[in-house]
């Protein structure tokens, strides 16, 4: 027998504090708004850069067409446009284009990006960046916008006349590829520095519009997002409260079911106690009645021995039942092996089997351990079945008790050598009925069935040809522990 301690899990444990915190919805909403705001800001930044690039490309394409227009005008008789490969003709073309409104200065570069000439003459020299030259070699204009350019970066001025650092202005730089009409070779680059005030104002309007749209989308989207998250948390809290209430109700129902199961077990054990006490109590009552009628001297020593044996049997039965009921209510848990259980059953049945001259045979396969509470109830069932089997078996025959721990939960069989049951008796085998044995109560098998139901086990009579009955008790849980 092995004793073990068990703990009962707290089914009503409180949830984590952060799950029930009133700040959780606000934290989730703020996190969602931060993600939404970041996404809108990223899209706005990318859209702003894309639109600015398109605006600059538009202005560069227009100026490119205007610059090369004289080459396509058949009415012009100017000989200088006979070949634009000549740097002088390129400079003349730049001078004509520089008359356009807003052009502050112009520079001429050769096909490799080296500075050649500028207009006016006091314009600072410059170079073309590699990425600009790569675009120009594909005969596409290259544009760049500088929001704040100091005059010293554009003009060659003396220290006396140099403007102060505060006199900054926006400048649009447009680089136009120079090439023959229909040609694919870059012959030179015309760079125009244009007043960027208009471009800066257009960019400012674009930024203001994009900012307004971003705020609008963030306001509308954030409001809807916050409303949806708030309502979702409200419903979740409501569902959580309902689930908590139902969990408490379920826990209460489980407690009531456990109490009902214990009450049922107590009722079954009490019925077993009555069943066990009836025969010895009847015998003791008859002995005492005989002594009263005939005097105590009429009783033989054998009668007194039987009376003492009946009293001891009743005392042992009562003590066993009291112990079993105490274990039902206590928290102590222990285990019994199949061998220990078989010894208990044989000990309880040995006197009756000896008086009836019936041999008890025990077979144990795959010895294992069962919890003490379950094992004691199984012993009660087997004792009841064993006594019925001894009563049903003729003298000089045997009763077989089988214990098998290999089956799920455990399987126990009791087989007698009697005549069996008639068909009409077998249909109501586990219901109270008139006993066929002298002094019997007729409720032994009904008590066995009630105890089996309490264990969630099955008890049935195996249908088989031949002599005797074979009762099988199958446990389903808990699984037996191997030794």
Residue 468 backbone class (left: φ over 0; alpha: ψ -120 to 50; beta: rest): left
Residue 420's alpha-carbon distances to 325, 395, 412, in angstroms, are 34, 16, 19
Which residues are registered as beta bridge partners of 370?
336
Please state, in angstroms and rounded to a whole number, the distance separating the CA atoms of residues 219 and 399.
87
Where does 114-196 have alpha helices with state H? 130-137
From the list 113, 195, 117, 119, the residue with the least C-alpha distance to 151 is: 195
And the tokens for 469?
Answer: 């009955």
pLDDT at 162: 46
And the tokens for 376?
Answer: 């004691």
Interval 189-215: pLDDT, tens: 999 999 989 999 999 999 999 999 999
pLDDT at 38: 93
Residues 6 or more apart whose CB falls under 8 angstroms from that of 398 comprise 358, 359, 360, 361, 417
pLDDT at 43: 94
Q: Is 350 exposed, middle or buried (0-12, 13-18, 19+ CB in 10 A)?
A: exposed
- For CA atoms 43, 44, 47, 53, the dihedral sign is negative
Q: What is the mean pLDDT of the chain?
A: 79
Please state, in angstroms and rounded to a whole number, the distance separating the CA atoms of residues 338 and 344.
10
> What distance lies between CA 292 and its chain's CA centroid?
78
Helices 444-454 & 197-294 angle (0-180, nearest 10): 160
What value, to the nearest 5°, has the Cα angle with vertex 395 and ends 392 and 398?
A: 70
Report whether 216 contacts 36 (CB < 8 A): no
pLDDT at 436: 57
pLDDT at 272: 56
> What distance lies between CA 147 and its chain's CA centroid?
55
pLDDT at 454: 78
Residues in the chain: 483
And the tokens for 68?
Answer: 């090369």
pLDDT at 451: 81
Q: Is 52 exposed, middle or buried (0-12, 13-18, 19+ CB in 10 A)?
A: middle
How many of the other CB atoms lie within 10 Å of CB of 185? 11
How would you list the strands of the sheet with 333-337, edge to edge? 2-4, 333-337, 368-371, 481-482
DSSP character for 459? E
pLDDT at 184: 87
How many of the other CB atoms lie within 10 Å of CB of 106? 22
And the tokens for 306?
Answer: 């039987």
Which residues are registered as beta bridge partners of 471?
414, 461
pLDDT at 430: 74
Residue 409 backbone class (left: φ over 0; alpha: ψ -120 to 50; beta: rest): left
Report whether 418 contacts 467 (CB < 8 A): yes
pLDDT at 163: 47
Helix and strand numbers, DSSP H then E, in the chain: 9, 14
Please state, in angstroms and rounded to a whole number, the distance separating the CA atoms of residues 178 and 173.
16
Please state, in angstroms and rounded to a whole number, the distance separating the CA atoms of residues 31 and 17.
20
DSSP character for 57? H
Please state, in angstroms and rounded to a whole number, the distance separating the CA atoms of residues 157 and 123.
9
DSSP character for 85? T
Which residues are registered as beta bridge partners of 118?
107
Please, what is the end-to-end C-alpha distance for the chain in angstroms? 11
Interval 264-295: pLDDT, tens: 555 666 655 565 655 666 666 666 666 766 66
pLDDT at 409: 75
Identify the segments of the chain with pLDDT beneath 70. Answer: 1-20, 71-82, 157-166, 256-290, 292-299, 303, 306-310, 312-317, 319-333, 423-427, 432-443, 463-466, 477-483
Report whether 222 contacts 33 (CB < 8 A): yes
Q: Is 311 helix (H, G, I), strand (E, B) or coil?
A: helix
The pTM is what?
0.47
């Amino acid at each position: 027998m092995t004793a073990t301690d068990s703990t009962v899990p707290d089914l009503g444990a409180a949830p984590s504090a952060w799950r029930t915190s009133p700040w959780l919805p606000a934290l989730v909403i703020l996190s969602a708004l931060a993600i939404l705001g970041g996404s809108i800001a990223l899209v706005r930044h990318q859209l702003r850069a894309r639109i600015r690039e398109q605006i600059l490309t538009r202005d560069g394409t227009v100026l490119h067409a205007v610059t090369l227009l004289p080459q396509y005008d058949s009415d012009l008789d100017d000989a200088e446009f006979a070949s634009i490969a000549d740097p002088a003709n390129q400079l003349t073309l730049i001078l004509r284009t520089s008359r356009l409104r807003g052009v502050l200065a112009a520079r001429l570069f050769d096909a490799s990006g080296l500075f050649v000439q500028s207009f006016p003459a006091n314009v600072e020299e410059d170079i073309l960046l590699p990425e600009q030259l790569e675009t120009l070699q594909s005969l596409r204009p290259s544009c760049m916008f500088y929001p704040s350019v100091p005059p010293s970066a554009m003009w060659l001025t003396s220290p006396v006349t140099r403007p102060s650092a505060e006199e900054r202005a926006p400048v649009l730089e447009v680089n136009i590829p120079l090439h023959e009409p229909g040609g694919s070779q870059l012959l030179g680059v015309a760079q125009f520095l244009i007043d960027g005030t208009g471009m800066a104002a257009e960019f400012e309007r674009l930024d203001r519009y994009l900012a307004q749209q971003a705020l609008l989308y963030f306001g509308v989207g954030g409001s809807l997002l916050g409303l949806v998250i708030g309502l979702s948390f409200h419903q979740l809290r409501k569902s959580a409260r309902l689930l908590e209430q139902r969990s408490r109700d379920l826990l209460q129902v489980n407690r009531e079911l456990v109490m009902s199961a214990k009450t049922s077990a107590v009722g079954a054990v009490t019925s077993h106690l009555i069943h066990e006490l009836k025969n010895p109590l009847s015998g003791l009552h008859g002995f005492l009645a005989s002594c009263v009628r005939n005097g105590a001297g009429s009783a033989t020593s054998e009668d007194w021995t039987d009376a003492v044996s009946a009293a001891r049997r009743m005392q042992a039965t009562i003590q066993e039942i009291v112990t079993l009921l105490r274990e039902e209510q206590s928290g102590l848990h222990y285990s019994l092996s199949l061998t220990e259980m078989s010894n208990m059953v044989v000990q309880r049945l040995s006197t009756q089997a000896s008086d009836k001259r019936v041999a008890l045979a025990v077979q144990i396969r795959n010895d294992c351990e069962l919890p003490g509470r379950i094992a004691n109830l199984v012993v009660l069932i087997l004792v009841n079945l064993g006594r019925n089997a001894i009563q049903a078996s003729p003298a000089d025959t045997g009763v077989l008790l089988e214990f098998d721990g290999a089956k799920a939960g455990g399987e126990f069989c009791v087989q007698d050598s009697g005549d069996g049951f008639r068909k009409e008796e077998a249909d109501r085998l586990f219901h109270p009925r008139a006993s066929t044995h002298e002094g019997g109560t007729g409720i032994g098998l009904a008590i066995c069935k009630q105890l089996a139901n309490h264990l969630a086990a099955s008890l049935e009579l195996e249908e088989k040809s031949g002599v005797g009955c074979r009762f099988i008790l199958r446990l389903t849980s808990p699984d037996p522990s191997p030794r």
